[in-house]
Amino acid sequence: MKILYRYLSVNLVKYFLVLIGFFSIVIVSSQLLHLPSILYHTGFIKFLQILFFVNLSFFKYQLFFGVLISSLLIGYSLRENREIYAIYSAGISKGQLIKPVFTVSLLFTVVALLTSLFLVPYANRERAQFITINVKKHVLDAIVEKNFMKLSEDITIYVQGKKENEMEKIFIFQKDKGITITAEKSLFSNNRLLLQNGYIQIPSQEGFNLLKFDKYRFILDIKYIKKYEFEDLDNRTLLEMVKSSKKNRDKALAVLSERVVFAVPFLFLGVLGFSLGLQVQKSREFVIGLAVILSIVYMVMNTYLLKLLQKGSINPVVYAVAVLVYFGFTTYYFYRKE
């Protein structure tokens, strides 16, 4: 019995890891065209970093389909290779056969909860910040001496000389405020210039005012901001909104509920997938297609319930019960199917 349990558990994890690798390649490849083109010139290491964050952002879906399809393939393999008949002949019941699959599913439930609560929101925030910083940094690093460079619709800059982070004889024109800045030297750091020994020309009704400075910090804002969504806020901020903010209370509650309830299907996915592969006497393609259809129905239902939750039409308990009933019923049906 232990050998059989080990065989099922090891193969389930093996199939899962292979599927996660495959899903990662597909997802990253599909997202490459959505990245700002300038990120392709930031360097190999930084480019790998953004791909890593992109992959983590979709890890919830990889985890969901990875567990479902890997358990399905285990059940299908036992049926297709006729191993299931030898197992039943040895006196092992279906319930005993399901036990290792359910045990592994419990581990995946914990992983799913941690992923939904912490990993994916963190990855989305880091991805947005990473893209913002590196796009800005690349543009600002590209300042060329003895050339006028338009950093944005608002800022034009000219430098007489540049050596790494140091520049000399700088001219800056800020269009929206009509401000002109000149300086002898400056030190460049991230998107800030520490200007030394210069003048600021500020327009006024009488003409303009001229201010002399020894040191002045100027932010070179190229106005590129990759914002992350409301759904990616950290749990503490969302909890504070639920307690104090009437405006975003229902929306924050919906996000928190989705993160917690996301782990509920994993209590059933292993047994559901295994039962599909074992009980449905069809080809592998048909069984996988059926699993995908069941998943799509869940996702549509999940989206609709979340919209109702955001409007305050239902409460989180109803949402959780609906998901529990859906997966409980489908799992029981295919488990009992002959």
Measured CA to CA, the distance from residue 18 to residue 29 in angstroms comes to 17
Kindly report the number of other CB atoms within 10 A of residue 13's CB atom. Answer: 14
Average pLDDT of the residues in 196-219 = 86
pLDDT band at 136 (very low <50, low <70, confident <90, very high): low
Angle between helices 94-114 and 266-279 (to 10 degrees): 140
Lowest-pLDDT choice from 46-50, 70-74, 220-224 = 220-224
* pLDDT at residue 16, as a whole number: 96
DSSP 48-81: HHHHHHHHHHTHHHHHHHHHHHHHHHHHHHHHHT
Q: Percent of the chain, pLDDT > 70?
A: 92
* pLDDT at residue 298, as a whole number: 97
Check whether 242 has a pLDDT greater than 60: yes
pLDDT tens for 276-326 read 999 998 999 999 999 999 999 999 999 999 999 999 899 999 999 999 999
Across all residues in the chain, what is the average pLDDT?
87
Question: The tokens of 27 are what?
Answer: 């997802």
Q: Which of 190, 200, 324 is nearest to 265 (CA)?
A: 324
* 3-class secondary-structure state, position 280: coil
Enumerate residues 6+ apart whose C-beta is below 8 A from 258.
Answer: 116, 231, 302, 306
Check whether 222 has a pLDDT greater than 60: no
Which H helix or E strand runs over 173? strand 166-174
Residue type, 79: R
pLDDT tens for 149-203 read 877 778 888 898 888 778 899 999 988 888 999 999 988 776 678 899 999 988 8
